[in-house]
Amino acid sequence: MSHHHTYKKLEMVGTSPNSIEEAIQNAITEIANSVNNLDWFEVTETRGHIINNKVAHYQVTLKIGFRIENS
């Protein structure tokens, strides 16, 4: 018997004043509060905010895939 998985994708924007990696983790942590079976993520955009010629904030757009439960 083969197992087939079906996935949904959500788009999220994570932010962080510290790093791109932290922005990604912040988005995943937030979505994990309301969605189960998180499986993968894809970074689709990376942006930032500049203040006084320095990076003030990172913004990372992610597509987060999660497995739909088979009933």
Contact indicator for 24, 43 with CB cutoff of 8 Å: yes
Domain edges within the chain: 7-67
The pTM assigned to this predicted structure is 0.84
pLDDT at res. 71: 52
Q: If one looks up domain 7-67 in CATH, what number appears?
A: 3.30.1660.10
pLDDT at res. 2: 58
Classify residue 27 as exposed, middle or buried by CB count within 10 Å of its CB (0-12, 13-18, 19+): buried
- Pair of tokens at residue 50: 């500049």
Contact indicator for 8, 65 with CB cutoff of 8 Å: yes
pLDDT at res. 70: 66
**What are the tens digits of pLDDT across the range 23-68?**
999 999 999 999 999 999 999 999 999 999 999 999 999 999 999 8
